[in-house]
Amino acid sequence: MNASKTASLSVFSNTFIVILKLIVGFLTGSVAVISEAIHSALDLLASLIAFISVRISGRDADRGHPYGHGKVENISGTIETLLIFVSRYLDYL
Ligand SMILES: [Zn+2]
């Protein structure tokens, strides 16, 4: 399985988890489960960023980017690191 397929599987599974946690959270009225859904929504955002970045990094070099597009993964990795800090911070609230 290549990186793009793996990333899209991660997007689908995270979407499924968010929807399931929202349904259970609202059916039971559990604030804890709803906050878990928000936590998983941040995971979903991270997996979307990973999906987009592996799609872009796989592109061949072009006029605007003669060394290729691989560096986009460094940028997305940094953004995902910041997202982890955000979700850790939310856990303390
Ligand atoms: Zn380009």
Per-residue HEC secondary structure of 6-46 comes to HHHHHHHHHHHHHHHHHHHHHHHCCHHHHHHHHHHHHHHHH
CA 75 to ligand 1 center in whole angstroms: 15
CA 73 to ligand 1 center in whole angstroms: 14
Those residues with Cβ within 8 angstroms of residue 82's Cβ, 6 or more apart along the chain or in another chain: none
* C-alpha dihedral (59, 64, 66, 69), degrees to nearest 10: -30
CA 3 to ligand 1 center in whole angstroms: 19
Nearest alpha carbon to residue 34 among 22, 47, 43: 22
**Residue-level pLDDT at 79:** 95
**Residue-level pLDDT at 92:** 74
CA 12 to ligand 1 center in whole angstroms: 27
- Enumerate the domain spans of the chain: 3-92
- pLDDT tens, the chain, 93 aa long: 788 899 999 999 999 999 999 999 999 999 999 999 998 999 999 999 999 999 999 999 999 999 999 999 999 999 999 998 888 887 776
**Residue-level pLDDT at 2:** 87
**Residue-level pLDDT at 1:** 78
CA 8 to ligand 1 center in whole angstroms: 22
**Residue-level pLDDT at 11:** 96
